Amino acid sequence: MIVANWKMNGTRQSVTEWIDSVSGNIDIDNINPCIFCPPACYLEHARKLIEKHNNRIKLGSQIINGTNYDKPLTGGISAKMLKDVGAEYVIIGHSEQRDFLGKINNNFLTEDVEKALSENLKIIFCVGEDFQSKENSETYLCLGEQLDALGQLHSTHENKLRSITVAYEPIWAIGSGLNAEKDYIEETHEFIKKYINDHLGWSQLDIYPAVLYGGSVNLDNCEEIISSTDVDGLLIGGASLNSETFSKIYNLS
């Protein structure tokens, strides 16, 4: 799975140009899902263009408000709304959202995941350590705590857990131009898979989520990263904005 995370970028015009270009440039024989996550206000526009091109780009949202259904929430976007505008995927727990919203706890994220799954949306669940945790050798502690949000999905039917993909995004690598080294990525991805299998017990359910890497992926490093053991795809921010760069990365993956 290769995901373009546009963050707070773009216009109707640039969304149109990107979809036109990527539709024409990505290799149609590549079976990797290609997910486009524009800002929420462009989802509907993007869906119409994707339908027009009748191609394999899938639509994802960068945001969901899974909580507070019983209370009014000005500016909120629910799972139902995302489904209604044609989103198939949703990114949950991105470090920039965690940071923006202050210390969000796991219960909050678990609820987002549950609401999304209840509308049959597919989840890209982000985890990642900050620089301090890495320096203190607390990366696994930090990742384990974040992954526990998925261990709390009691009300979710087991089969729906198959719709969850995890994205490992070390915070210090996001937008910094400093991607994690191959060895580090491999060790961390191995830990994440093991934690989900053994600690969350998903291997007993025969569920093995894909784990993507994100954080300063670009045209120069994408091949090495995607070929790393236990890396099942990429979540790309800055380098996804340019349609030609993104298409090249997708075709190399």
Where b means 16+ CB within 10 Å and e means fewer, 53-71 reads: eebebbbbbbbbbbbeeee
CB of 190 to ligand PGA, least distance (A): 21
Q: Minimum distance from CB of 21 to ligand PGA (Å)?
A: 19
CA dihedral (145, 146, 151, 152) in degrees, to 10, reads: 100
Q: What angle do CA 98, 211, 190 make, to 5 degrees?
A: 105
Annotated active-site residue in 94, 114, 129, 189: 94
Residue 189: active-site member: no
CB 112 within 8 A of CB 92: yes
First to last CA, the chain: 9
Helices 182-194 and 139-151: crossing angle, nearest 10°?
40
Q: Name the residue nearer to ligand PGA (CB basis): 90 or 200.
A: 90
Report the residue number, 147 or 200, with the smaller CB distance to ligand PGA.
147
CB neighbour list of residue 148: distance below 8 Å, 6 or more residues apart: 106, 200
Choice among 111, 114, 129, 169 that is catalytic: 169
Using CB positions, name the residue nearest to ligand PGA: 237
If the CB atoms of residues 175 and 201 are measured against ligand PGA, the closer one turns out to be: 175
Residues that bind ligand PGA (CB under 6 A): 5, 169, 174-175, 214-217, 235-239
- Does residue 157 carry a catalytic annotation? no
Smallest distance from ligand PGA to CB 174, Å = 4
Of 106 and 245, nearer to ligand PGA (C-beta) is 245
Q: How far is the CB of 173 from ligand PGA (least distance, A)?
A: 6
Rounded (5°) CA angle 17-19-25: 100
- Pairing verdict, β 34-37 and 164-168: unpaired
The residues carrying an active-site annotation are: 94, 169
